[in-house]
Amino acid sequence: MLAFKVEIDGKLIQVAGVADWSILALHITASRGEVHASESTARQDSTRYSVGGLSMPDESDIRQHFRWQESELAVGSTVSVQVIETDSPDPVVRRYRSDAIVRESAFTDAEMRAMRFQDYLALKKEFEDPSTSGASLE
């Protein structure tokens, strides 16, 4: 099957491919943080790499999205992609339906937990900030 063999800074990251692909896509994305945000974490830019795609329709005419683990990139990172044929790609991190009838999360349980934990840390910092102590919640 067709797959992407991906290396970042000379280290093999993954061989991404599935037998029933209709779309296989690799993205390098840079997103700018909020320049005027009060929280320093919101001001930070982010550069990431990801691979995902969409399957062919199955016997019930249902397609599925699939994706592999994302990676952070740093300024100066080198991403190398080789298009290959293989019988042994790395397993996907998540595969989920792509239809309006059944809505499935794009995230694994572990990813959802990690996101909730980041929300918890942000809320904890907000409500433990001495400058907001005694502030009304109404």
Domain boundaries, the chain: 2-106
Is pLDDT at 138 greater than 60 in this prediction? no
Q: Would you give the distance in Å from CA 41 to the centre of its chain? A: 18
Distance CA(34)–CA(97), nearest Å, equals: 33
Answer yes or no: is pLDDT of 101 > 80. no
- Predicted confidence band at 97 (pLDDT cuts at 50, 70, 90)? confident
Please state, rounded to an integer, the average pLDDT across all residues of the chain.
85
Q: How confident is the model at residue 124 (pLDDT cuts 50, 70, 90)?
A: confident
CA torsion, ordered 72, 49, 30, 25, to nearest 10 deg? -170
3, pLDDT greater than 90? yes
Q: Note the helical H segments in the chain.
A: 40-43, 109-128
Is the pLDDT reported for residue 40 higher than 60?
yes
CB atoms within 10 A of CB 111: 15
Contact 108, 94 (CB under 8 A): yes
Whether the per-residue pLDDT at 118 is higher than 80: the answer is: no
pLDDT at 135 over 90: no
**Radius of gyration, CA atoms only, the chain:** 20
Residue with more model confidence, 114 or 84: 84
CA atoms within 13 A on the CB side of 129: 11
Name the residue among 68, 73, 81 with its Cα closest to residue 6. Answer: 81
pTM confidence score: 0.68
| pLDDT band at residue 76 using 50, 70 and 90 as cut-offs | very high
